[in-house]
Amino acid sequence: MSVLAIEYSGLKEINGQFVIYEGVDGASYEEIVELRVRGAGGFVKKTGQIVGISGDKVIIRVFEGTDGVSLTNSAIRLTGRPMEIPLSEEILGRVFDGAARPIDGLGELYAERKADINGKQLNPVSREYPRDFIQTGISAIDGLATLIRGQKLPIFSGNGLPHDRLAAQITRQASLGREGDAGDSFAIVFAAMGVKYDVAEFFRRTFEESGALERVVMFLNLANDPVTERIITPKAALTAAEYLAFEKGMDILVILTDMTAYAEALREISSSRGEIPSRKGFPGYLYSELAGIYERAGLVRGQAGSVTQIPILTMPNDDITHPVPDLTGYITEGQIVLDRNIHQQGVYPPINVLPSLSRLMKDGIGEGYTRADHPDLANQLFSSYARVGEVRALASVVGEDELSDLDKKYMEFGKAFEDGYLRQGKFENRGIMATIALGWRMLRILPKSELDRINAGILDEFYESDM
Amino acid sequence: MNAKGQIHGIDGSVIRARGSRGFIMGEMVKVGAEGLIGEVIGVEEGCVTIQVFENTTGLRPGDAVTGSGKPLCVTLGPGIISNIFDGIERPLRKIEELTGKFIARGAKVDSLDMERGWDVTVTAMEGDIVSPGGVIATVPESASVTHKIMVPPGVSGEIVSIRPSGPYTLRDPIAVVKTKSGGKRELYLWQEWPIRAPRPVAAKHPASVPLITGQRIIDTLFPIAKGGTAAVPGGFGTGKTMTQHQIAKWSDADIIIYIGCGERGNEMTQVLEEFTELIDPRGGRPLMDRTMLIANTSNMPVAAREASIYTGITIAEYYRDMGCHVAIMADSTSRWAEALRELSGRLEEMPAEEGFPAYLSSRLAAFYERAAYVRNLNGTEGSVSIIGAVSPQGGDFSEPVTQNTKRFVKSFWTLDRALAYARHFPAINWLTSYSEYTEDMENWYDDNVGKDFSSFRRRIVNILTEESRLMEIVKLIGADVLPDGQRLTLEIARVVRLGFIQQNAYHKHDTYVPMAKQRLMMELILYLYDKAKALIDAGVAMSAVRSSGIFERIIAVKFEVGNDEPEKFTEYKVEIDKFYDEVYASDIG
């Protein structure tokens, strides 16, 4: 197209990451433009995206930032294309920056095709409801907030809590590959948004140690990388994941960290555009943006492959009602919540099981999936552990000695649950049957009459012995 | 002559166009080469503002905008039931056939299948004088639903010709009506109606008949009327969707309209799968035979999300006009409100609370006011009940959507995080929830369920209120110091909570409980209370009363007694009598 050749130089305004050009013909909404900036050492190329059009005036968000741009030293060229990334099976084992440019020194990628990073929405009637249990080897997750293939299950954490270790342990132990499969169909897509270099390096090392590096695609936008690229990173990663899953039939685990940094990047860009803020300064469309990311998980009916997401987010000030965890919880299919108090007791993984939840669990456990008693057992553990909280509150008022005998049993159960059930080693991989047996061992601390969530038949079968 | 214009500016789902002066507020327009569907939401000299129901990426200034001359409408006719649509009534299964598993935009599909043949029984005759709402034919739309073909609002006159019964498609004219002004109007199996305008009715009636849901805490403690409104606010993970699913499955409405508004795609998949398998306890047919779904999931375009609840309620009103009782599940109205906020922000309107537009409350009111128990134009009675989920930000019920919703609904079922954490489901908090229908419907309950129903209900409420008062003390000093009479109240309250209020959606007996059994369960618990109280009053220690295990037995009744085994309650009463006699004999006698 001839349009591609035309350069426009009518730069009128520079504002944060945005530049405004006038006199531009034929620009289309959200297309990518190339910016040529004349500097001391020659021309610098930047990339931007059109985010607003009014007549011949276009607003462009510049990914690399607007440093060095003046009203006279730059020109743009329209590409006529939306934001795309190159795809081929060779992306496995590669490392890209936040805007999907290779940064591992292995050169450009030979692209089989290019794909729009916004993806397309999966038709709700084409989805397949996820039911396959994934064993992570972590009791608190397998037993009480089960991960299902095709689920989006975030980790809600706080700064200084071991969410990275937990995510690493899950990726190491999750036997995602289908039965009878050598693991060829399993791969990890890792996207870092605004995290420290050490965090990215920790994950890289973990993948390397487990020998999985060849099956990992990494997209890294670190804390000091451009904010405008940060909002592209998860979309690029998910585009790669969808390609591998639904075109190459692989089971993909996507780790996105840290979603809070992503949302803050959105806020920064929104405020520099002068948009009307909603809660805590975040833009009104934060929910839609987050949904556009989290909904890109799942299974497609009649097709091999799956995308399972484990987004990690840090709750500012450990506040679960902060807009980012709050909106996330409304979109994702449950959440795993880490707790600072449990962490301070020295328990790893410090999962607070009460607010943790897996919405897909009910259809992926029980008879034919894990074991018939699993749903009742999980319910009872939740209910009894919730009671522990009440008893502890009472004990802090009247003192532990003044508690009734039954309440003392609950205190004992609470301690045993945290030390025996929750706590496990960073490399300890517990099978689901071991987790279930452990759950029963905990419940036996309590009198049988207290176990009111368990079907009488199941209770009689399992309360006395392990089977 | 339809208005024409060209795109001038683009900002997300909102575009501005320049062109002819003929654009009408609320008019449906086609945008760009792909003919994306949009709606005019602002008109000024030389410029119109349009919200586009599809992704606007790639649109350019200069692209054509064409008016349609009519407002955004839904097509109403056979083929709606069992179907799944997006927010502007495009059938998702057809879109899948056309564009594959991922939705491509600009798909040109008819809302209803125009080619499918329907077995039409014509009931009107040539020479009949008909008026709006008059039934001219019926169509078996699904095994559970007989679709009545009605004369559309605004049309009346004499039928000058009508086809005989037989197979017809939506393309075939069925009858011709000569209107009073002398014009002729062809009637089809379908009609159109603008989504933002309520369909006319003859009269509204006060709501006095409950919508039976089979959920004990709702039916007994906080009922909703047919033609009533309810809101279910709750933070994430408290079971809003689950509550909505349960009502959609088991309520005694004739038609269920489930609107997935800005929620998860997998949830719609789940409804599709489950409702196709589950059997309606009344009709014996799959639930999907009386259900239609609107899926505008969270990642689908935001403007269509805004439209989706209007699409849903217009379809509901259409079935109501046939004399059906329709229940709408709107999950979630907060996402709809956020869509309003997002569009309002793009229009650079002055925000009110938390960035929501100032007209949030009037829009909510307009939506909930479309629920009613009515006498239709054709003389039948029907109702539209709305059950709206609310997803308050941060689980904080003081936020604008919850507060504004509260003003317009009469049943309010607050979901409680603490209950959900303890996996007490449904996690409806019995202290903060309310229903303004309770008193209006007491007569119905006493006449149809049992004359003592309302008094049982009051006693159960009293036990729970008393418990919460006592728990204040227990939290400070423990339960052991309470006198035995009060400890019995706590114990009975536990039986009420676990044995009555808590309900297991996955248990074959417990997922749905008929009213008669709900009454018997209350009666049994109160019978136990009276007997145990007599023992305590006679001086028996609470520990002796509790050790009998009778409380656990009564809690288990909900699982042990099937919905069709009311005679078993007599056995339980005998058991309670035996417990009374034994404890009395060993302690006192």
What is the least distance, in Å, from the CA of A207 to any CA of chain B? 30
d(CA A310, CA A297): 10
Using CB atoms, pick whichever of B8, B10, B422 lies closest to residue A383. B422
Which of residues 162 through 221 in chain B touch A, CB cutoff 8 A? none
Side chain identity at B537, as an amino acid letter?
D
Cβ-proximal residues to A281 (8 Å cutoff; 6+ apart), any chain: A267, A271
Q: Bridge-partner residues for B477, per DSSP? A: none
d(CA B499, CA B513): 13
- State the pairing for strand pair A306-314/A334-338: unpaired
Q: Which residues in B lie closer than 8 A to residue A275 (C-beta atoms)?
A: 345
Q: Identify the CATH assignment for B4-70 out of 2.40.30.20, 3.40.50.1820, 3.10.20.740, 3.90.180.10.
A: 2.40.30.20
d(CA B550, CA B554): 6
Please name which of A402, A389, A396, A413 lies closest in space to residue B480, comparing C-alpha atoms. Answer: A402
Of A325, A344, A363, which closes a domain?
A363
| Pairwise CB contact (< 8 Å): A124 & B298 | no
Does residue A46 have a pLDDT over 70?
yes
Does residue A2 have a pLDDT over 50?
no
Using CB atoms, pick whichever of B104, B235, B549 lies closest to residue A120. B104
pLDDT single digits (tens) A388-447: 998 998 898 888 888 889 999 999 999 999 999 999 999 999 999 999 999 999 999 999
Q: Walk along chain B (589 residues) in steps of 10 and give the mean pLDDT of each run.
A: 89 90 92 93 90 90 93 96 94 92 86 95 95 96 94 94 96 94 93 96 94 96 96 91 92 94 89 88 87 92 92 97 96 92 87 90 95 96 96 88 95 94 92 94 93 94 96 85 92 95 91 94 96 94 87 92 93 94 86
| Pairwise CB contact (< 8 Å): B395 & A321 | yes
* Residue in B with minimal Cα distance to A355: B421
Cβ-proximal residues to B589 (8 Å cutoff; 6+ apart), any chain: none
* B84–chain A Cβ distance below 8 A for any pair: yes
User: According to the model, what pLDDT value does residue A272 have?
Assistant: 87
Q: Bridge-partner residues for A188, per DSSP? A: A216, A253
Mutation test of the interface with chain B: which of A79, A83, A127, choosing the one with the most B Cβ atoms within 10 A?
A: A127
Read off the pLDDT of each residue in A343-353 and give the average, rounded to a whole number: 95
Read off the pLDDT of each residue in A7-36 and give the average, rounded to a whole number: 91
What is the least distance, in Å, from the CA of B30 to any CA of chain A? 17
Pair (A313, A437) in one structural domain: no
Please name which of B139, B109, B112, B110 lies closest in space to residue B123, comparing C-alpha atoms. Answer: B139
In chain B, where the domains are located: 4-70, 116-189, 203-437, 453-587
pLDDT band at A1 (very low <50, low <70, confident <90, very high): very low
| Pairwise CB contact (< 8 Å): B9 & A301 | no
| Pairwise CB contact (< 8 Å): B348 & A276 | yes
With helix as H, strand as E and coil as C, how does B291-323 read? EEEEEECCCCCHHHHHHHHHHHHHHHHHHHHCC
Pair (A379, A339) in one structural domain: no
Pair (A317, A393) in one structural domain: no
Pair (A243, A299) in one structural domain: yes
DSSP B214: S
Pair (A9, A107) in one structural domain: no
CATH of the domain at A59: 2.40.30.20
Side chain identity at A244, as an amino acid letter?
L
| Residues comprising chain B, all counted | 589
Pair (A325, A191) in one structural domain: yes
| Pairwise CB contact (< 8 Å): A124 & B477 | no
Q: How many CB atoms lie within 10 A of CB B462?
A: 11
Fold assignment, B203-437: Rossmann fold (3.40.50)
Cβ-proximal residues to B563 (8 Å cutoff; 6+ apart), any chain: B509, B512, B513, B514, B517
Please name which of B6, B50, B46 lies closest in space to residue B22, comparing C-alpha atoms. Answer: B46
- Show the CA angle centred on residue A214, arms to residues A210 and A215, nearest 5°: 85
What is the least distance, in Å, from the CA of B474 to any CA of chain A? 8
What is the least distance, in Å, from the CA of B114 to any CA of chain A? 21
Strands of A117-183 (E only): list them: 127-128, 133-134, 147-148, 155-157
* A369 inside domain: no
* A289 inside domain: yes
Please state which CATH number belongs to domain B453-587.
1.10.1140.10
Pair (A238, A252) in one structural domain: yes
pLDDT single digits (tens) A277-320: 888 899 988 999 999 999 999 999 999 999 999 999 999 999 99
User: According to the model, what pLDDT value does residue A211 have?
Assistant: 84
CATH of the domain at A257: 3.40.50.12240
Which of residues 48 through 77 in chain B touch A, CB cutoff 8 A? 55-62
- The DSSP code sequence of A348-361 is SS-EEEEEEEETTH
With helix as H, strand as E and coil as C, how does B156-203 read? CEEEEEECCCEEECCCCCCEEEEECCCCEEEECCCEEEECCCCCCCCE
Mutation test of the interface with chain A: which of B63, B264, B270, choosing the one with the most A Cβ atoms within 10 A?
A: B264
Of A39, A63, A81, which closes a domain?
A81
Mutation test of the interface with chain A: which of B236, B353, B417, choosing the one with the most A Cβ atoms within 10 A?
A: B236
| Pairwise CB contact (< 8 Å): A124 & B474 | no
Tally of domains within chain A:
3
Pair (A231, A171) in one structural domain: yes
- State the pairing for strand pair B255-261/B291-296: parallel
Of A66, A81, A96, which closes a domain?
A81
* B559–chain A Cβ distance below 8 A for any pair: yes
Pair (A318, A219) in one structural domain: yes
State the residue range of the domain holding A167: 85-363
Q: Which residues in B lie closer than 8 A to residue A124 (C-beta atoms)?
A: 84, 92, 260, 265, 268-269, 272, 295, 297
Does residue A130 have a pLDDT over 80?
yes
| Pairwise CB contact (< 8 Å): B338 & A333 | no
User: According to the model, what pLDDT value does residue B332 have?
Assistant: 87
Is residue A346 classed exposed, middle or buried when 0-12, 13-18 and 19+ CB atoms within 10 A define those classes? exposed
Read off the pLDDT of each residue in A241-261 and give the average, rounded to a whole number: 94
Contact yes or no for B382/B376 (Cβ under 8 A): yes
Pair (A197, A269) in one structural domain: yes
Q: CA–CA distance from A311 to each of A100, A203, A250, A304, B487 (Å)?
A: 19, 14, 19, 23, 47
* A208 inside domain: yes
pLDDT single digits (tens) B147-196: 999 999 999 999 999 999 999 999 999 999 999 888 999 999 999 999 99
User: According to the model, what pLDDT value does residue A181 have?
Assistant: 53
What is the least distance, in Å, from the CA of A56 to any CA of chain B? 8
Fold assignment, B116-189: OB fold (Dihydrolipoamide Acetyltransferase, E2P) (2.40.50)
CB pairs under 8 A between A and B: 214
Strands of A277-345 (E only): list them: 298-300, 306-314, 334-338
φ, ψ dihedrals at B102, nearest 5°: -105, 135
Query: Tokens for B207?
Result: 């709501």
Contact yes or no for B411/B213 (Cβ under 8 A): no
- State the pairing for strand pair A155-157/A74-82: unpaired
Instruction: Report helix, strand or coil for B146.
Output: strand
Pair (A216, A257) in one structural domain: yes
Does residue A465 have a pLDDT over 90?
no
The H or E element spanning position A21 is strand A18-21
Contact yes or no for B521/B557 (Cβ under 8 A): yes
Pair (A272, A150) in one structural domain: yes
| Sheet containing B175-179: order of strands | B129-130, B157-162, B175-179, B184-187
Does residue A4 have a pLDDT over 70?
no
| Residue that has been written with the tokens 């980790």 in this structure | A155
* A467 inside domain: no
| Pairwise CB contact (< 8 Å): B298 & A295 | yes
d(CA B203, CA B375): 5
Higher pLDDT, B90 or A449: B90
| Residues comprising chain A, all counted | 467
Mutation test of the interface with chain B: which of A1, A3, A31, A53, choosing the one with the most B Cβ atoms within 10 A?
A: A53
| Pairwise CB contact (< 8 Å): B12 & A449 | no
User: According to the model, what pLDDT value does residue A176 have?
Assistant: 53
* Residue in B with minimal Cα distance to A283: B342
Does residue A177 have a pLDDT over 60?
no
| Pairwise CB contact (< 8 Å): A330 & B391 | yes
| Pairwise CB contact (< 8 Å): B266 & A452 | no
* B12–chain A Cβ distance below 8 A for any pair: yes
Using CB atoms, pick whichever of B60, B266, B474 lies closest to residue A127. B266
User: According to the model, what pLDDT value does residue A5 have?
Assistant: 64
Helices (H), B478-567: 484-496, 515-537, 542-547, 550-555, 557-560
* B268–chain A Cβ distance below 8 A for any pair: yes
d(CA A222, CA B380): 66
| Pairwise CB contact (< 8 Å): A452 & B103 | no
- State the pairing for strand pair B36-44/B47-52: antiparallel
